[in-house]
Amino acid sequence: MIARPEYPRPQFERKNWINLNGEWQFEIDHGRSGRERKLYEAESLAQKIIVPYCPESKLSGIQNVDFMESVWYKRSFDISEEWAAAGRRTILNIGACDFATEVWVNGQYIGKHIGGYVSFAMDITKAVKAGENTVVINAVDIARSGNQPVGKQSRLYYSHGCDYTRTTGIWQTVWLENVPDHYIKRTKYRVSLENECVYIEAVCENADGKTLTAKATFGGKEVGAASAIVSNKTVMLQVKVSEMHLWDVGDGQLYDLVLDLEGDTVYSYFGMRKVEYKNGKTYINGRVVYQRLILDQGFYPDGIYTAPTEQDLIDDIQRSLDMGFNGARLHQKVFEPRFLYHCDRMGYIVWGEHANWGLDISRPEAWRGFMPEWQEILERDFNHPAIIGWCPLNETQTNQNRDFVRELANMTRSYDPDRMYIDASGWTHQDDISDMLDVHDYEQDPAIFREHYLPLEKGEPVVFNRYKQGGLPTFMSEFGGIWWNPKDLENGWGYGGVNSRPKSEEEFIERYRGLVTAMLENKAICAFCYTQLTDVEQEVNGLYTYDRKAKFDPAIIKAINTQKAAIEE
């Protein structure tokens, strides 16, 4: 059976595709000499690997956890006469490959992509032929350079603290699509509750003068349609919906959408919802929503960055819901589109983030190592109704390039003026950039924790974070992180230090209750995010173990989390 067989991009799906996951040839290129040795022309590579699992993972069959600055992949694939016919195009899609990726097909150089977290596509039409073809992929990943984002991948040989096993090279599905010479390249949906419609903007290739048709259905019933003519490369149209079904927290109602550009058909969906931040509160569809979030690192024991199966994605969302959380911070990793799809359909709210750790944002190189991929992330994930806010940076240094941080905000708001925005979660905030201030506080004593933020209710600022900034934070975006590992009382890492570890399950629950209740009862706080959903390797502050066993009765945690918040009155 092929690894991860499902179509990887549910919001932009074509039926004419070939999954290239499975066994590939593989070689580690420690000296980064593969180009000189022309490995892209080699008869064979030294090892075998199972794609889409990274070579550090058990599921890949390699399980090499040392630094690998360059790796090579090779496999053959067949395409039909129909695919190779005149007037057809073959597109190679790579879900994610860390970090700098180059591609050859049948020995012909195709192109390069920079960025290890987002999907990208390359037109390989000129290089392929009917019958057998060969693709070679090289990934260069210099995790310790300071010039690229690596997220929670350890920059030391061993995992330590809250840094874990690295991911090198391909870690999401690789697939081929065949399209007409004219095709839809990407789309952008903006919904309007007031006008009961969705506005669709599409970027198309070789389609000037052709007609794009859109048909929306809900529950199998057609509820709207429209068409418009492409001008140059773009087309805009408005689809009025005859029935309003709101996407909401815990109720992910979705409209199906079929787009057709004279023979290129894309299957998609959208959700009708409106997100606002005003008066220190989050509103969805005009109703105050308290964000009860969990920090999700997106690591898996056997797959590292890659979920072993699609069901594992669904199960992690359900585990969070079972404990009374209504969403997550998707932390220091760009999660795959199928995860976001399940967030959409399950009504699970999330923040879109990047993996900036490892990138020195005081350097000029930071722009090249981050900005282009952040734009690609916005373009890929914009249409997901589950994403309610963007936060590209996390816990940044004080000597950051302030122009870089401000331009990130300008870029994001230019592309998406409707969602909430935070410049950098937790530590260093720049004035007048974020919609809300957030704070990270791992104080373990609930009484001290509560007392510290009571002045906010009077509109008085508090001092917060390691750099002693002050202000009026309304989002406790990291807290808790309570160590609990009863099977090994001596080892493991968690927040607060050894002396603050709970001595019993009952003590853990009471501390958890105290910290969460302090947030819910504070009339100036509109959101919290508890650290974290699962243990990850040596970090043992999850509510579930790394192999996804509940440490506590989910019903107890749910009862605490779902207490009515002061702002919900």
pLDDT digits (tens, 9 = 90+) for 447-463: 999 999 999 999 999 99
Q: Is the pLDDT of residue 489 over 80?
A: no
48 is written with which tokens? 């075998």
**With bands split at pLDDT 50, 70 and 90, how would you rate the model's confidence at 490?**
confident
Instruction: Check residue 369 and give its pLDDT.
Output: 84
Instruction: Check residue 17 and give its pLDDT.
Output: 98
183-273 has which CATH code?
2.60.40.10
Instruction: Check residue 486 and give its pLDDT.
Output: 81
**With bands split at pLDDT 50, 70 and 90, how would you rate the model's confidence at 464?**
confident
Quickly tell me which residue has 């607060």 as its tokens. Answer: 496
Dihedral sign, Cα of residue 542, residue 547, residue 548, residue 549: negative
Question: CA-CA distance, 216 to 238, in Å (whole number)?
Answer: 11
Whether the ω angle into residue 397 lies within 30 degrees of 0, i.e. cis, is: no
Domain 276-568 superfamily per CATH: Glycosidases (3.20.20.80)
Question: CA-CA distance, 42 to 211, in Å (whole number)?
Answer: 45
Question: CA-CA distance, 151 to 367, in Å (whole number)?
Answer: 16
The structural domains of the chain, with segments of one domain joined by +, span 17-180, 183-273, 276-568
Domain 17-180 superfamily per CATH: Galactose-binding domain-like (2.60.120.260)
Equal CATH topology for 17-180 and 183-273: no
Angle between helices 337-346 and 310-322 (to 10 degrees): 40
Mean pLDDT, rounded, for 317-322? 98
Q: Is the pLDDT of residue 121 over 80?
A: yes
Phi, psi dihedrals of residue 526, rounded to the nearest 5°: -115, -5
Instruction: Check residue 169 and give its pLDDT.
Output: 98
Instruction: Check residue 154 and give its pLDDT.
Output: 96
Q: What residues pair up with 282 in beta bridges, in sequence order?
A: 277
The reported pTM is: 0.97
pLDDT digits (tens, 9 = 90+) for 507-535: 999 999 999 999 999 999 999 999 999 99
Instruction: Decide: 263 and 500 in contact? Cβ < 8 Å.
Output: no
Q: Is the pLDDT of residue 468 over 90?
A: no
**What percent of the chain shows pLDDT beyond 90?**
93
Instruction: Decide: 150 and 164 in contact? Cβ < 8 Å.
Output: no
pLDDT digits (tens, 9 = 90+) for 267-297: 999 999 999 999 999 999 999 999 999 999 9
Q: Is the pLDDT of residue 426 over 80?
A: yes
Mean pLDDT, rounded, for 168-186? 98
Angle between helices 554-561 and 505-520 (to 10 degrees): 20
Instruction: Check residue 520 and give its pLDDT.
Output: 98
